[in-house]
Amino acid sequence: MKSAKDNEEVGAYLKKLILLKYPSVRQFGKAYIIANGLEPSDYEVQNMENRLSQIVNGKKAIQTYDLPGFTDLLGVSCEEILSCGKSFVPTSGHITNYEIAFSKDPVVWQEYIDREDKLILNTDEYNKTILDYAIEFKNYELIKYLMDHDYIWFVDKSKYDHHDFVLGYGAGTSIKRREISLQDYGLARQMSPVDGEEIRLRKGVIILALENEDLDTLITLRAKEIPSFFQLSSFVNVHISCYDYYDEEIVDKISRSGDKIFRYFSEPYTIKDNWGNEHTFIYPFLGEIIERLIANKSKYTEQVLGNVIEYNQSVLDRLQSIVEEASQFAQDRYADWDVKLTKDEAVKGALDYLNTVQEDGYVKYFNPVARNVNLMYSANVIRTEGRTDDLILAPLIRQLNELYDCVLNIKTNNVKGN
């Protein structure tokens, strides 16, 4: 077992375990009293609550005589409690999701998958599937085994139409349920975009891929993309929020990664819609990553800033070109009708088709009038709250944010640019 943590860490982890299964620490204390064959009088319950309060707040250590009772009630091992979730040991001899997810043996995994009763599809008494436990135990080998053998997927590779990704990436499982069964629904349900489970599980696997610096899996998971991008590049309403997909731990892991991970997350990419229009995007949380890079004095800060500046500039250039093209189209069309439209009037009219989402840095342009001109485009741009006195980085941060402002205020600036 890895070394035990200090009282404060153990107490915090114990509290987390208690509240996963009990409505309060007090109720857990009452259950502990009953499990020890005692009467849960108000006096006993209050005393136990006071003792537990000192433990979960790090004031006292867990006593050895309490550990067996705590582990039984919580369904975990003493190793897990004392290591704060860094070390796990199966808690029973019968086959469970917990035990299989703890295993490192592919033979054991395959036997569990091949069972006729398909237990792997079920949630356990704690409403957890094998995937929940594998992510919790950081058993990346098991998750990769399931993915590599196409037992599970987080992005449906058969989907080529970008509209299929508007609401999610189509997670699923190839494991077939038993005939005539209402019980085998856990894993299958969690691998579909219901109640945010697909988002939660995908985040968990992304975190493990980052910890293992597994770029191939990040690409497979489309880790730098979010469904909002596909929504933005369609006819769907643009009032969307990318921060529904923000995860503090993912951002922190990226900010502590190496070169190949930074290159992946700071490189833009395109989404082609059904009409052949190309929309450009970049990982939307790079602003927060840059803040952490500055704070950590990372050697990659200048590189990432340079990549994002180049991207923001490309979005501004593209928008200016589109508005110029649309305004010229309008002037030519009015001229065919023997009506003179001034340049300013044409530009103003062209800008009426531009929408922005300020809080997320989204822009969307769609001009349905210019049917013979390719004038549908959407993108996101990045700004950062990062601050530094560094003589190289400070001007880059200023340039980055100025480009962001130019894009988001392009109507006000009348596309006169940077």
Please give the C-alpha separations between residue 253 and each of 96, 204, 257, 385, in angstroms, as whole numbers.
31, 12, 6, 19
Question: What are the residue ranges of helices labelled H in 23-160?
Answer: 25-35, 42-56, 67-74, 78-82, 97-102, 106-114, 130-136, 140-148
Contact 316, 280 (CB under 8 A): no
The pLDDT value recorded for residue 416 is 46
Domain ranges across the chain: 7-82, 97-223, 271-413
- pLDDT above 70 for 81: yes
DSSP character at residue 165: G
Whole-angstrom Cα Rg for the chain: 27
Q: Average model confidence (pLDDT) for the chain?
A: 82
Lowest model confidence (mean pLDDT) among 102-106, 165-169, 232-236, 252-256: 165-169
The pLDDT value recorded for residue 158 is 61
Q: Encoding tokens for residue 173?
A: 């499982």
pLDDT digits (tens, 9 = 90+) for 372-412: 555 788 899 999 999 999 999 999 999 999 999 999 998 77
Which residue matches tokens 């890079």?
A: 293
d(CA 80, CA 199): 26
User: Which comes out higher in pLDDT, residue 70 or 282?
Assistant: 282
The arithmetic mean of pLDDT across residues 10-32, rounded, is: 89
pLDDT digits (tens, 9 = 90+) for 35-62: 887 888 989 999 999 999 999 999 999 8
The arithmetic mean of pLDDT across residues 200-228, rounded, is: 91
